Chain A
Amino acid sequence: MGQLFKLKKKVRDEADSVETGLNNPGRKFHFDEVGVLAAVLVMVLLLSFGSPYFFSVSNLLKVGRQVSFYGLLTIGLSFVIGSGQIDISVGRIITLVTFVMAWLMDKGMNPWLAFCLGIMLGALCGLLNGGLSLVFNVHPMIITLGTTNLFWGLAVGLSNAKPIVIWQESSFLELGPGKIAGLPVPFFIFIVVAIIGHILLKKSVFGRHVLAVGANKQAAVFAGINEKRIRLSVMVMSGVVAAIAAGVLLSFFQTFDPNVGSGMEMDAIGAAVIGGADLNGGYASVLGAFLGAFLIGILRNGLVLMGVGAYWNNFVTGAVILIAVAVSTVLKTQRKS
């Protein structure tokens, strides 16, 4: 009897530990993450039946690489959304930073140095986003809507909307197409950044403060948290992560294209929300966002392999994002009541 009771209690505790996601930012696994993982697995299964080419190591690694670019953005965005803000300029930070890096490399600068300067520029872009929002007390949605055009206009204006091809020989440019531990380098970097982000958001004091500010700004202030500094830091983080993504993109494609980064912010926000991030702030999950990015990535890839054209591909992807969000919302409300 005692044994059975203990077992029951254990099962119940584990069920609790999955269920009380919103209450406990420090928990190991949340309901959303388990849900997205299940959705990813179901999708892999379905697409494997849909196309014989889908379930192969080389194809899945290719998906991993494709996912990495906007996947990196989604990690920065998890912090931004968790703090109750939004950054829709990340796609255009990529355009601007890629241009500046390509231009510097074209002028003969060491690519690694150009990459470092690019990251600083990304930080500066984030600082501008966060700073303007704080100084004028305007919602970051509006600020980043403005800076989106600012960054894009700057990149296109300075480049005359012409591509720049990098001809330099450098270890930096061999990085993108290369592999580490059998994984494409962009994918490897994505995983590393995701792990760091996950630990930072769930386990560090900073991460907890980010979520506290997102959940209740005033209570955070009364708990001695410098909410302005937190809000600024996450915007800077988002800019830095976007700049890293820009560097990875450039080293892979070896070309600056004025359209690079376009629309990536939407996939990135979608992935974060599928992963459980609450756009009202107070909750986000890097693990969930990581899986969310995969969900979108394998779907796009699988549809291409099944011969679905690019236009309908967007339609189906959009529909799946909506369904994922709807299902997760319905389940969340049911659990609450």
Chain B
Amino acid sequence: MSRKEVILELKNVDKRFGGVHALNNVSFSVKRGEVHAIVGENGAGKSTLMKILAGNYQPDSGKILLEGKEINFSNPHQAHEAGINIIYQEFYCFPALDVVSNVFAGKEISHSLFLNDKKMRALACDVFNRMGVNIDLNANVGNLSIADQQIIEIAKALVYEGKIVIMDEPNSALTDKETKALFDLIVRLKEQGITILYISHRMEEVFQICDRITVLRDGGYIGTWDKNEVDVPFAISKMIGRKLDEAFPKIVDLKVNDNPILEVRNLNAAGKLADINFSVRPGEVLGFAGLEGCGIRELFHVLFGIDACDSGEVLLNGQLQHIHFSTGAINSGIGLIPANRRDHGLIMRWSIKENISLVILKKLLNFLGLTNQSRINTLSSEYIKKLSISTSSADKAVLDLSGGNQQKVVISKWLATQPKVLLLDDPTRGIDVGAKSEIYLLIQELAKNGLAILFNSSEIDEVLGLSHRVMVMRQGRIIKDFQHEEADKHTVLRYVSGDILGTQQRESVKQNC
């Protein structure tokens, strides 16, 4: 095991996009049958490197050797033929087609003119069995959850006998249980001698699953370490080139006598939410913990007016609100930073300033009732400065920004409405470590200025680290309420996973009996 042969070797790989030096003279090698992590901040060059290996891009100079032979892919098909398969982070599926068709999209098996449905079904069945997931092969992919779609994306890469599988944040949409299944699968693939290149922002899991770790920074190669030689803080310091300050800022004490700004009473939505009661005070960060589909997102959408509820009351500043459309929520001072930045949060091809000004355009008019360009400019430059969005100009399309900066644009857009309550749904998903800690500081800063924040994250540490109180949701109910001090990760996770049932749930179980 110790002296494995080299399967993939990169020599002085260089790639530029216009003025951006995406990969600067990168050289390293990958051994057969290892799980090799590639880590780095956004813009470090990980994705460019993977896209070169997968044949989407061609390097400007340098050599890539696969099993000692130089390879030069001009398209993804050639990479696939050579045995390199990739699972993309931003994946694309065909929502109108069924699961089998999606797994084999573009690589259909046929005899002469006709598709060989039988064989494709059998292979698909086999791959899902190997992955240990249960999925309806006839389901339309558009009707499946994001997590299931991600599983299909993984199946696409595994259905063929490959030598190397590249995984670009494969579990960003998976629940803990599904992630665990994925890791089991990775172990099995490794036993079969398949090499895995694993890209992730989550350092804990990198250390959990990978053998060796390669760090990239600003397009340059920093080094490769055996996982046993190093620890998480070391890897992070290599990634960002400096020591990261304490991960979460210290929580500010609340003023004792403030009345709640938002109160929710007996909120119900059939099949989604049951009996939701809570309140939040100005300056309070209220964290939500729970699994995908536990009702947090649904709760946020009901409060914001995107989805309807069946019964219940929402009080803002003690006044009853009738929020049945998002305009109502916005006018009452509720803002939502949605989990899906690209589809829900932003108009990707519009510029920063058009995005920031979209919601409050009505307040940026001139005396003729038309939009006032200079007020739009002032507003956007104010927020670019305030949130330190790094861009050359407010006219740049948000498409061209990094994930962290895109998220700052979404936040700016909502801060511009001067909300009283801000719902943050997984604001740090898919953004790099540096930008994450900036968002943490921002959340704290906003809370200090009296904003009430409801905060959900797929990373439990963030919820525990940032919130004054943590509420655990499960199956549409709030099952437990923790103060910051009493919320230790182990206990919270036991509630989240259903290992301990909360009070309300226990009652409902009793009723069912």
- Counting CB contacts under 8 A, is B348 at the interface? yes
- Counting CB contacts under 8 A, is B351 at the interface? yes
B-binding segment of A16-24, A146-154, A175-183: A16-24
For window 14-57 of A, CB contacts with B under 8 Å fall at 16, 20, 22-26
Among B325, B326, B343, B369, the residue within 8 A (CB) of A204 is: B369
- Counting CB contacts under 8 A, is B329 at the interface? yes
Provide the B335-353 mask, 1 if CB < 8 A to any CB of A, else 0.
0101000011111111101
**A24-B351, A25-B354, A221-B306 are contacts. A204–B396 as well, Cβ < 8 Å?**
no
For window 212-227 of A, CB contacts with B under 8 Å fall at 212, 215-216, 218-224, 226
Question: Which B residues touch A25, using CB under 8 A?
Answer: 350, 354
Q: Evaluate contact between B395 and A23: CB separation under 8 angstroms.
A: yes
Closest to B363 in A: A205
**A26-B373, A205-B362, A208-B358 are contacts. A222–B344 as well, Cβ < 8 Å?**
yes
Provide the B385-420 mask, 1 if CB < 8 A to any CB of A, else 0.
000000001011100000000000000010000000
**A203-B370, A205-B371, A223-B359 are contacts. A20–B326 as well, Cβ < 8 Å?**
no
Closest to A203 in B: B370
Question: Which A residues touch B329, using CB under 8 A?
Answer: 224
- Counting CB contacts under 8 A, is B327 at the interface? yes
Q: Evaluate contact between A203 and B349: CB separation under 8 angstroms.
A: no
- Counting CB contacts under 8 A, is A199 at the interface? yes
Output the least CB separation between A131 and chain B (Å): 19
- Counting CB contacts under 8 A, is B361 at the interface? yes
**A25-B354, A282-B349 are contacts. A222–B395 as well, Cβ < 8 Å?**
no
Provide the B29-41 mask, 1 if CB < 8 A to any CB of A, else 0.
0000000000000
Provide the A201-245 mask, 1 if CB < 8 A to any CB of B, else 0.
001110011001001101111111010000000000000000000
Question: Which B residues touch A224, using CB under 8 A?
Answer: 325-327, 329-330, 359
- Counting CB contacts under 8 A, is B464 at the interface? no
- Counting CB contacts under 8 A, is B365 at the interface? yes
Among B343, B370, B376, the residue within 8 A (CB) of A216 is: B343
**A208-B361, A222-B306, A224-B359 are contacts. A215–B371 as well, Cβ < 8 Å?**
no
Question: Which B residues touch A204, using CB under 8 A?
Answer: 369-371
Question: Which B residues touch A223, using CB under 8 A?
Answer: 326, 358-359, 413
Question: Which A residues touch B346, using CB under 8 A?
Answer: 216, 219
Q: Evaluate contact between A218 and B325: CB separation under 8 angstroms.
A: no
**A23-B397, A219-B345 are contacts. A205–B306 as well, Cβ < 8 Å?**
no
Closest to A213 in B: B347
Closest to B346 in A: A219
Q: Evaluate contact between A199 and B370: CB separation under 8 angstroms.
A: yes
Question: Which B residues touch A219, using CB under 8 A?
Answer: 343-347
Q: Within the assembled complex, what's the spacing in Å between the Cα atoms of A199 and B371?
A: 10
Q: Within the assembled complex, what's the spacing in Å between the Cα atoms of A219 and B348?
A: 9
Q: Within the assembled complex, what's the spacing in Å between the Cα atoms of A216 and B359?
A: 14
Q: Evaluate contact between A215 and B350: CB separation under 8 angstroms.
A: yes
Among A16, A205, A218, the residue within 8 A (CB) of B343 is: A218
Output the least CB separation between B368 and chain A (Å): 8
Among B326, B362, B376, the residue within 8 A (CB) of A221 is: B326
Q: Within the assembled complex, what's the spacing in Å between the Cα atoms of A221 and B326?
A: 8
Most buried by B among A16, A209, A212: A212
Output the least CB separation between B343 and chain A (Å): 5
Closest to B17 in A: A337
**A23-B395, A199-B370 are contacts. A205–B349 as well, Cβ < 8 Å?**
no
Question: Which B residues touch A212, using CB under 8 A?
Answer: 347, 358
**A205-B361, A221-B326, A224-B326 are contacts. A26–B348 as well, Cβ < 8 Å?**
no
Q: Evaluate contact between A222 and B345: CB separation under 8 angstroms.
A: yes
For window 238-289 of A, CB contacts with B under 8 Å fall at 282
Q: Evaluate contact between B344 and A24: CB separation under 8 angstroms.
A: no
Output the least CB separation between A229 and chain B (Å): 10
Q: Within the assembled complex, what's the spacing in Å between the Cα atoms of A23 and B355?
A: 10
Q: Evaluate contact between B349 and A22: CB separation under 8 angstroms.
A: yes
Q: Within the assembled complex, what's the spacing in Å between the Cα atoms of A204 and B368?
A: 10
Output the least CB separation between B375 and chain A (Å): 11
Among B338, B349, B393, the residue within 8 A (CB) of A222 is: B338
Q: Evaluate contact between A226 and B325: CB separation under 8 angstroms.
A: yes
Closest to B337 in A: A222
Q: Evaluate contact between A23 and B371: CB separation under 8 angstroms.
A: no
**A216-B348, A218-B343, A222-B345 are contacts. A26–B369 as well, Cβ < 8 Å?**
no
Closest to B305 in A: A224
Closest to A216 in B: B347
Closest to A22 in B: B349
Q: Within the assembled complex, what's the spacing in Å between the Cα atoms of A212 and B347?
A: 7
Q: Within the assembled complex, what's the spacing in Å between the Cα atoms of A24 and B357?
A: 12
Q: Within the assembled complex, what's the spacing in Å between the Cα atoms of A22 and B349?
A: 7
Closest to B325 in A: A226
Most buried by B among A20, A26, A203, A224: A224
Closest to B349 in A: A22
B residues in contact (CB < 8 Å) with A: 306, 325-327, 329-330, 336, 338, 343-351, 353-354, 358-359, 361-362, 365, 369-371, 373, 376, 393, 395-397, 413
Given contacts A25-B354, A221-B326, A223-B359, 13 further A-B contacts (CB under 8 A): A20-B395, A23-B351, A23-B395, A24-B395, A203-B371, A205-B365, A208-B361, A212-B347, A219-B344, A221-B306, A222-B344, A223-B326, A224-B330
CB-CB nearest 9 A-B residue pairs: A203-B370, A23-B351, A224-B326, A224-B330, A23-B397, A224-B327, A222-B344, A215-B347, A216-B347
What are 19 pairs between A and B in contact, CB < 8 Å?
Answer: A16-B395, A20-B351, A20-B395, A20-B397, A22-B349, A24-B395, A203-B371, A204-B369, A205-B371, A209-B361, A216-B346, A219-B343, A220-B347, A222-B344, A222-B345, A223-B326, A224-B329, A224-B330, A226-B325
